[in-house]
């Protein structure tokens, strides 16, 4: 079976006046269909750059990257992924159903199919009844759910999520994490998820990619053996804490705190 994402010796360098910035160096990673993969690492380690490269918003400087066996450019044209940003990025002048319908309008779906898909995806994220509301009438968590609905509306198998819940308070985040797991189970999507939070990464993922900065490298890939069905209190089990400890060790190993102090 073809991997959904396959990176081999992937490198990406941004030229800059003060010397080149190596955002990604020698990244090797395979993501299979249906996996939930989190990317965790300190600020500037290249998590967003990796997601943007998958989405064909950045071009690799070296190595290869394929999405469903295709180049990122071909995958973008085939609408292979939906993208959820850190801020919900909804248009304030469009109501929720019009925001969710936007990609469908751009792709020229017939009106009846647009309406049906909007109905279905709003139901998936528990926003039925809020179709006519404007973004500012919704809480931050609901706005983020609407932006997930928008990314799901055209049924891409791959969902790229860049710290989607980073700006939300912990209770809302917990709730959205468990909702996202249910949605993932129901839709069988492949998800790439950027986070700074160890508990969030461990709770959500089947695989955790630990990254380190300067240059952005993958320092550990942790396969989770937690069951797919995860109540929130799984976070207190020894199995969960063991994986969290390994992620923390990986982050420490990749981050030279002494260097920063010196």
192: enclosing H helix or E strand: strand 190-195
Kindly state whether residue 95 participates in binding ligand ATP, applying the rule CB under 6 A. Answer: no
Q: With binding defined as CB under 6 A, does residue 21 bind ligand ATP?
A: yes
Tell me which of 6, 38, 48, 68 binds ligand ATP, using CB under 6 A. 48
47 belongs to the binding site for ligand ATP (CB under 6 A): yes
By DSSP bridging, strand 5-14 and strand 36-40 are unpaired
Residue 213, both tokens: 């900065």
CB 161 within 8 A of CB 194: yes
Instruction: Tell me which residue of 61, 3, 68, 62 sits closest to 29, measured CA to CA.
Output: 3
Q: Which two tokens stand for residue 179?
A: 């909702």
Strand partners of residue 40: 195, 210
Q: Which of 34, 44, 63, 140 binds ligand ATP (CB under 6 A)?
A: 44
Q: Which one of the spans 46-54, 99-107, 108-116, 199-207 is the region binding ligand ATP (CB under 6 A)? A: 46-54
Q: How far is the CB of 141 from ligand ATP (least distance, A)?
A: 20
| Distance in angstroms (rounded) separating the CA atoms of residues 153 and 74 | 20
Q: Is 16 in the site for ligand ATP (CB under 6 A)?
A: yes
87 scored as a contact of ligand ATP (CB under 6 A) = no
Size of the site for ligand ATP (CB under 6 A): 13
Q: How far is the CB of 215 from ligand ATP (least distance, A)?
A: 9
């Amino acid at each position: 079976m073809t991997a959904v994402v396959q990176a081999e010796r992937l490198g990406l360098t941004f030229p800059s006046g003060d010397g080149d910035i190596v955002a990604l160096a020698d990244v090797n990673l395979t993501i299979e269909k249906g996996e939930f993969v989190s990317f965790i690492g300190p600020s500037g380690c290249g998590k967003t750059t990796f997601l943007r490269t998958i989405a064909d918003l950045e071009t690799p400087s070296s190595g290869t990257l394929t999405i469903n066996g295709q180049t990122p450019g071909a995958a973008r044209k085939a609408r292979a992924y939906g993208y959820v940003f850190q801020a919900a990025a909804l248009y304030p002048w469009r109501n929720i159903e019009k925001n969710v319908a936007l990609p469908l309008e751009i792709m020229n779906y017939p009106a009846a199919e647009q309406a049906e898909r909007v109905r279905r995806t709003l139901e998936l994220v528990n926003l039925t009844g809020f179709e006519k509301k404007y973004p500012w009438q919704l809480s931050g968590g609901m706005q983020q759910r609407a932006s997930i609905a928008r990314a799901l509306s055209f049924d891409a198998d791959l969902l790229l999520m860049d710290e989607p819940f980073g700006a939300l308070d912990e209770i809302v985040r917990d709730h959205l994490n468990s909702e996202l797991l249910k949605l993932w189970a129901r839709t069988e999507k492949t998800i790439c998820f950027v986070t700074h939070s160890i508990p969030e990464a461990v709770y959500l993922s089947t695989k955790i990619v630990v990254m380190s900065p300067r240059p952005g490298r993958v320092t550990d890939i942790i396969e989770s053996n937690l069951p797919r069905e995860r109540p929130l209190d799984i976070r207190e089990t020894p199995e969960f804490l063991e994986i969290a400890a390994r992620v923390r060790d990986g982050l420490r190993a990749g981050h030279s705190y002494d260097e920063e102090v010196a």
